[in-house]
Amino acid sequence: MTTAGIYSNVAQSSGLYATASTTFTASTAFQLYAFYVSSVAPATPTGGSWSFSTNTGVPPTGWSLTPPSAPGTTVWVSIAFVSSASSAALTWSTPGQMAYTLGSGIQGGTF
């Protein structure tokens, strides 16, 4: 939990955004999504990056930063927290199933 607003020039407590000694000055933070198309669950991705100076990202090898428009099989998604206050490598979540084609994945109800 933070002890003050992220956009103030004060130290933060330990928690999601920082350690107790971290000072934020107008930082930007968001969740970056990476997509992977496969009939089986992929391993948790590693690598990838985000540049705040160019506002562009590089996905982990084999992954995409945009979802496919017409996938032929299951689409998986992984999420990384990106912060301009940290230069640490991205840490990605375990991939979760985002979408599937008829006959694969979790079946939904009939509409």
The C-alpha atoms of residue 74 and residue 107 are separated, in whole angstroms, by 12
Average pLDDT in the chain: 75
Predicted TM-score (pTM) of the model is: 0.67
**d(Cα 62, Cα 72) in Å, to the nearest integer?**
16
Q: pLDDT tens digits, residue range 18-62?
A: 444 555 455 678 889 999 999 999 999 999 998 888 888 999 999
Instruction: Give yes or no for a contact between 83 and 28, defined as CB atoms under 8 angstroms apart.
Output: yes
Give pLDDT, residue 55: 86
Report residue 110 CA to chain centroid gap.
32
pLDDT of 7 above 50:
no
- pLDDT at position 95, please? 96
Q: Domain coordinates of the chain in residue numbers?
A: 29-99
